[in-house]
Chains A and B, each alone.
Chain A
């Protein structure tokens, strides 16, 4: 892993994302708060990068159960805060309002890495992992927060695949889940999922977000309208566009070059993270890295697809860009864990270096 590449791409993503939030929500609104989140997150990232994730492996189980407890708390009426019909937030008084489901994502990654750390995970490990995922999945789906629940599913699938869990079980689970979905989901959720195919059928209702987001992105052109100049982004045509639809601001105000740049930065970061996960000597750490990769990659790609109308609209944020304290902290901590795992003593030495070590006096 090239440290420079990670830092550059990460800072680039953070800058573009923050500019978009600042442009659409303003400094007095979410802009300043988001900057606080970024600074806090970068501090935690530095802390995590100091030590190898192995050293905090003991935290996995308690952290996991703490998350589950927090998710339970959220569901208790009066404790959890309800916004837009979903009970997702937990208020900690002066410490701000946090979203336990975001923390649950990291908890699941650490827990699954711990479960799968054995050399060849069998059915027992697979079922344990499935049970852990199912617990969090159920609690989050109850809120209801379909997007985050899907992210948990993706983490489970990705990490099981990397760990080499029984392919049959994984396959059955995914196919079964997909087959069951129509019976489990509420009607409004189904409508929301399918409207992206024909947003024009309901331009004032469910299709509104999709239509307006595409209009905003489309009106950007090559170089965009300029920061703070987007007619749709600035005037509330894409409602709450500092959250999940923050990409429409980037599209409208920074244009195609901005979009491609964002995509390139994301790809660069993803490649660096994947490299770490491949080169890690320790299986636990390799799994954590692949979990973080899945988390960021799945969220990023799904969010981009849904803003440009290639995927159904589910509440999945764009990592490092979407406004949100919990998500920002968790994503940066995830990167921190990967950087910790990438420390020199963990990376598998390259062949050249091995040769040098074994034949010091070859010359």
Chain B
């Protein structure tokens, strides 16, 4: 029957078409259907806050009101833009220039018309909104430095994620337009601070109206950082160093920088970390302009450099802590050995050119006699000295929880051959043994060395963050809680070095740090520089590494001044003394 055949054929065609659409093309069509009806929205979680060791709030979040929109959709004629500029407190011609540029570059890309609006501006902008189709008032979060602008290098700042960062971090849930930590703790602990994004599936209807919001996962707030930093001590250290730098500026007529590390000798918890000069991180928090940034990086005293962990310089005589302990550990001398200083050794002069005459081990440290250490260094040989220096933490990052830490250089003959292209001479060993020459260290490395002397051979890991605390109050991590390693050396060896350091403060080069409140032990360092392009007058770098109390060391203080001229005992020791006076003086370090 032809009618039946026709009917069957039509039925088969229709049934087959249903099968094609609903089974064969199901996935494709379902995906298309969902992509135009369901949107996934990600909400950024509140970022974790940063507290100091006494529970003072240092960094928190504050709302940031922004006007955003698609420049092509928002009315952008001169009259409208002028009105908008007046309401948001911008110069009209600047806003117009920015919008024109955005219209050329990407007229359909989201664009920020105004950011960081204050309350009256928000009110004015809200009144204008109905006239501007497509312009939205968006509330974002930005960082607020609740404790004031101190330790800005260490706290760091945030910025928009770059394409390279995104490529690397996308698997961890980062997205375009995210703000991530760019410097300091914000960067190191970004993964902890940011929390987890909330995910909502938003169903919209054909007109784009929201029909249903289905929160798949609520945002999980980021973890708080509890720092070892003592905010008041940080302020004291900053002002002490700043005073010194101001004096130096007056004397030298030249800008110089400096840094202070205050660290617990036994644990490596960093109580204060100063790098001067500082910069204002607030432009970074709101999005720095190219002009401001250029001005910052072109300043001659490099304010963006975190000097405590990123500057490398010769340690000068403070390296004698390493040379002396190396000599003691290899049995080349003992605490009772008496040396003779004639003022020069193998062509190299002593720091006191007339010579110290007969001098004991303790005196050699206290008076910082170079000749003794020339002799000890040559006896040790470069290999043993270099190995000991590396064991004490030089030439490698200390592992402090800050980004961009410098390795420093702990030279060996191999290193010199590879990098300088020359073989190792005995003169190099002579220089090396008093911390000059190729050896380069960071202040925080010296703090670790000094802490090792103070605590009897424990190489601590400096850390700013004591606890990472989840928003529910659980301790998620304790970075640097364990020391990195222990040097297997006799205890009385360290005691001999400590005795020398105590001598330096009592009757030697570090007398300026002889605090009346606590028994300080320290070692000065003065690095002689040749004039070069960065250091036109060839001024000395000065160091002071110290710990206190002498009997049971608690605190290590390292002070370093760049291009200060003078001596460690006169430039850096007074700064350290102010810190000890604050900690052990009448205030007892209590806020």
Residues of A bordering B, CB below 8 Å = 212, 214-222, 231-232, 234-237, 239, 251, 255-256, 259-260, 263, 267, 270, 274, 301, 304-305, 308, 310
Distance to closest chain B CB from A357 (angstroms): 28
* Stretch binding the partner chain, chosen from B28-36, B330-338, B348-356: B28-36
Complex CA distance for A305 and B211, rounded to whole angstroms? 31
Please pick, from A214, A216, A232, A263, the residue contacting B15 in the complex, using a CB distance under 8 A.
Answer: A263
- Greatest chain A CB density within 10 A among B10, B11, B29, B204 is at B29
A236 touches B206 (CB 8 A): yes
> Do most interface residues of chain B lie in helix, strand or loop, or is the interface mixed?
helix
Please pick, from B17, B26, B38, the residue contacting A308 in the complex, using a CB distance under 8 A.
Answer: B17
Distance to closest chain B CB from A16 (angstroms): 14
User: Which 8 A/B pairs are nearest by Cβ-Cβ distance?
Assistant: A218-B29, A235-B205, A219-B30, A256-B22, A219-B33, A236-B206, A215-B33, A259-B18
**B203 proximal to A (CB < 8 A):** yes
B37 touches A217 (CB 8 A): no
**B207 proximal to A (CB < 8 A):** yes
**B249 proximal to A (CB < 8 A):** no
Complex CA distance for A41 and B38, rounded to whole angstroms? 40
A251 touches B22 (CB 8 A): yes
A-B contact count (CB 8 A): 89
Instruction: Chain B residues near A218: list those with CB within 8 A.
Output: 21-22, 25-26, 28-30, 32-33
Residue-wise, chain B 4-47 has the 8 Å CB interface mask toward A (1 for contact) of 00010011011101110111011011101110111000000000
Complex CA distance for A86 and B23, rounded to whole angstroms? 37
Instruction: Chain B residues near A308: list those with CB within 8 A.
Output: 14, 17-18, 21
Given the interface pairs A232-B33, A256-B23, A263-B15, the reply to whether A301 lies near B10 with Cβ below 8 Å is: yes
Distance to closest chain B CB from A223 (angstroms): 10
Complex CA distance for A220 and B20, rounded to whole angstroms? 12
Complex CA distance for A212 and B204, rounded to whole angstroms? 14
Complex CA distance for A256 and B15, rounded to whole angstroms? 9
Distance to closest chain B CB from A225 (angstroms): 9
Complex CA distance for A236 and B17, rounded to whole angstroms? 24
Q: How many residues of B contact A (CB 8 A)?
A: 30
Complex CA distance for A215 and B204, rounded to whole angstroms? 16
Given the interface pairs A237-B206, A308-B17, the reply to whether A259 lies near B32 with Cβ below 8 Å is: no
Residues of B bordering A, CB below 8 Å = 3, 7, 10-11, 13-15, 17-19, 21-23, 25-26, 28-30, 32-34, 36-38, 203-207, 211
Given the interface pairs A215-B32, A215-B33, A267-B7, the reply to whether A235 lies near B206 with Cβ below 8 Å is: yes
A221 touches B30 (CB 8 A): yes
Distance to closest chain B CB from A265 (angstroms): 12
B206 touches A251 (CB 8 A): no
Of all chain B residues, the one with the shortest Cβ separation from A214 is B21
Given the interface pairs A218-B22, A270-B7, the reply to whether A304 lies near B29 with Cβ below 8 Å is: no
Of all chain A residues, the one with the shortest Cβ separation from B34 is A231
Of all chain B residues, the one with the shortest Cβ separation from A260 is B15
A263 touches B14 (CB 8 A): yes
Instruction: Chain A residues near B23: list those with CB within 8 A.
Output: 221-222, 256
Given the interface pairs A220-B22, A237-B206, A259-B18, the reply to whether A214 lies near B11 with Cβ below 8 Å is: no
Complex CA distance for A308 and B24, rounded to whole angstroms? 14
Please pick, from A220, A222, A256, A310, the residue contacting B13 in the complex, using a CB distance under 8 A.
Answer: A310
Of all chain B residues, the one with the shortest Cβ separation from A257 is B22
Instruction: Chain B residues near A304: list those with CB within 8 A.
Output: 14
B34 touches A263 (CB 8 A): no
Distance to closest chain A CB from B34 (angstroms): 7
B29 touches A237 (CB 8 A): no
Distance to closest chain B CB from A128 (angstroms): 26
A222 touches B11 (CB 8 A): no
Complex CA distance for A239 and B206, rounded to whole angstroms? 8
Of all chain B residues, the one with the shortest Cβ separation from A203 is B36
Distance to closest chain B CB from A242 (angstroms): 15
Instruction: Chain A residues near B25: list those with CB within 8 A.
Output: 218
Instruction: Chain A residues near B11: list those with CB within 8 A.
Output: 263, 267
Please pick, from A235, A256, A301, the residue contacting B37 in the complex, using a CB distance under 8 A.
Answer: A235
Instruction: Chain B residues near A235: list those with CB within 8 A.
Output: 37, 203-206, 211
Complex CA distance for A207 and B590, rounded to whole angstroms? 76
Of all chain B residues, the one with the shortest Cβ separation from A217 is B21
Complex CA distance for A239 and B13, rounded to whole angstroms? 26
Instruction: Chain A residues near B22: list those with CB within 8 A.
Output: 217-218, 220-222, 251, 255-256, 259
A231 touches B37 (CB 8 A): yes
Instruction: Chain B residues near A219: list those with CB within 8 A.
Output: 26, 29-30, 33-34
Instruction: Chain B residues near A239: list those with CB within 8 A.
Output: 206
Instruction: Chain B residues near A301: list those with CB within 8 A.
Output: 10, 14
Instruction: Chain A residues near B206: list those with CB within 8 A.
Output: 212, 235-237, 239
Distance to closest chain B CB from A110 (angstroms): 23
B18 touches A251 (CB 8 A): yes
Distance to closest chain B CB from A88 (angstroms): 25
Instruction: Chain A residues near B18: list those with CB within 8 A.
Output: 217, 251, 256, 259-260, 263, 308
Of all chain B residues, the one with the shortest Cβ separation from A222 is B23
Instruction: Chain B residues near A215: list those with CB within 8 A.
Output: 29, 32-33, 36
Distance to closest chain A CB from B93 (angstroms): 39
Please pick, from A251, A260, A305, the residue contacting B21 in the complex, using a CB distance under 8 A.
Answer: A251
Instruction: Chain A residues near B37: list those with CB within 8 A.
Output: 231-232, 235, 237
